[in-house]
Structure 1
Amino acid sequence: MKNKDELRLLPWSGPEGKPCYLSADDSDGHMSRLADNIEAVQLGMAANLLEQALEVLGDGDAALEQLRPLATQLAGALRDTIRVATSRGHRLVTPESHQS
């Protein structure tokens, strides 16, 4: 089994919310491209949600009924964004990783 440093954290969860990983050997494979596309969709949705949130929060008359679902959606978008950032951060090449 590969070390977690050699695995890519995928942008979705497995059963019971556990993280899913993919071997990082083939960054051009079907699953890697699928993960890249899903990450792009998640980040795009988060950006759109942020715009909506700023509009709602800028409205002094926004009702509690608008804020609760917005907070739930923002929490989900933040979770997804953190997962993407974590995955991409683990795949960054650092000077230490080139030393033998």
Structure 2
Amino acid sequence: MMDVSPRLLPWSSLDGKPCYLVGEGGGFLSRMADEMEEAQLFLAGGLIEDAQRVFAARSWTAGELHLLAVELAESLVEVRRVAKSRGARLLAVSGAGA
């Protein structure tokens, strides 16, 4: 039997604590997490394009910059969580985490 490390899921509990999944990763919840990670990364890519467009126009309001900063920060939190989760799983698979 192989040692399976808990997987950091791409969402938090209602009180903001990280959620983990223990198992080998083939079940419904694991597939849902994979889909959510992909959606978060896709949305982050779109937000990057929006930011580049706003900055290139050089004609933004304070409100637009504030909203963009809030959305970028939220997206960065999500992308960082995905990176930490995937990095931990890579370490577990390679045996470097043992």
Query: TM-score with structure 1 length normalisation?
Result: 0.86
Q: Distance in 2 between matches of 1:36 and 1:27?
A: 10
Partner of 1:75: 73
Q: CA deviation at 1:95?
A: 4.8
User: Any gaps of 5 or more consecutive residues in structure 1?
Assistant: none
Partner of 2:20: 21
Partner of 2:30: 32
Compared CA separation, residues 18 and 95, structure 1 to 2 (3 A): closer
The amino acid across from 1:90 in the alignment is A
Equivalent residue of 2:20, what SS? Answer: strand
Partner of 2:96: 96
- Structure 1 consecutive aligned stretches of length 4 or more whose deviation exceeds 4 Å: none
Compared CA separation, residues 97 and 83, structure 1 to 2 (3 A): closer
Q: CA deviation at 1:26?
A: 2.8
Partner of 2:84: 86
Equivalent residue of 2:19, what SS? Answer: strand
Give the number of equivalent residue pairs. Answer: 94
The amino acid across from 1:33 in the alignment is R
Q: CA deviation at 1:49?
A: 0.4
Root mean square deviation, CA, Å: 1.8
Q: CA deviation at 1:65?
A: 1.4
Equivalent residue of 2:7, what SS? Answer: strand
Query: TM-score with structure 2 length normalisation?
Result: 0.88
User: Any gaps of 5 or more consecutive residues in structure 2?
Assistant: none
